[in-house]
Amino acid sequence: MPFKPSRRVFAAIAIVAVAASFAAVYVTERGAVESGGRCAAATAKAAALKPFASGGLAALLPADAPADFSDLVLRTPDGGERRLTEFAGQTLVLNMWATWCVPCRSEMPHLQALQEKRGRADFQVVALNVDVGGPDKPARFLKEIGATSLVDLRDPEMRAFNQLKSKGLVLGLPTTFVVDRTGCALASLAGPAEWDSPAALAMIEAATKKD
């Protein structure tokens, strides 16, 4: 007698098919980042950061196709406009954070320490706040926590956040990017990290190294 699948079997097959298709879409969206173009030359530098994705930096994700961040338009605390192109020639650790983000509070002192240890003409730490509202709350947060040496920029309408989110580059906070001197994102790290650790400093040295 030939086998006749029951309705339950058909239902199970349908569920698996839907789940598989959802996973495929998610992977496609997650990988929908800019490739080629102006940042194609940064691929080798991004690949050179892969050995550092371990220990405290295990969540570091070097980019297979570095995204172009040079067109990001950010805000200064007084509401002025500042583009990432103004940092040309400097490697950046670009940290996206908010005052309501508990992991951001624990991570911020490490970013401050990184700036104190490594900040110079070829490298800076940029703290990009995405709080919606006025500039006073982020300013008080940074002062209270002692993070006064960081480049203080804002995204009060979350335009930069949503622009990166639409490319699958950021899903939550904190998210930190290592951006090369030409504005290409070499790597990202979702969640907090000890950015002043020896491993992180070694990774920064590799990212800032001239070709």
In a domain, 161, yes or no: yes
> How high is the pLDDT of residue 50?
98
In a domain, 131, yes or no: yes
Residue 190's CATH number: 3.40.30.10
Pairing of strands 123-129, 60-68: unpaired
> How high is the pLDDT of residue 89?
96
Using DSSP, state whether 123 is helix, strand or coil. Answer: strand
In a domain, 22, yes or no: no
> How high is the pLDDT of residue 36?
53
Q: Which of 120, 128, 99, 139 is nearest to 208 (CA)?
A: 120
- The answer to whether residues 68 and 153 touch, using CB atoms and an 8 Å cutoff, is no
Using DSSP, state whether 120 is helix, strand or coil. Answer: strand
In a domain, 42, yes or no: yes
**φ and ψ of 185, to 5 deg:** -80, 110
> How high is the pLDDT of residue 37?
86
Cα–Cα distance, 172 to 169 (Å, whole number): 10
pLDDT tens string 86-121: 999 999 999 999 999 999 999 999 999 999 999 999
In a domain, 74, yes or no: yes
Sign, CA dihedral 199-120-211-69, equals positive
In a domain, 27, yes or no: no
Expressed as residue numbers, the domain containing 125 is 35-208
pLDDT lower than 70: segments of the chain: 1-36
Cα–Cα distance, 63 to 66 (Å, whole number): 5
pLDDT tens string 179-194: 999 999 999 999 999 9
Number of domains within the chain? 1
Contacts of 116 (CB under 8 A, 6+ apart): 149
In a domain, 6, yes or no: no
**Neighbouring C-alpha atoms within 13 Å toward the C-beta of 9:** 4
> How high is the pLDDT of residue 133?
83
In a domain, 24, yes or no: no
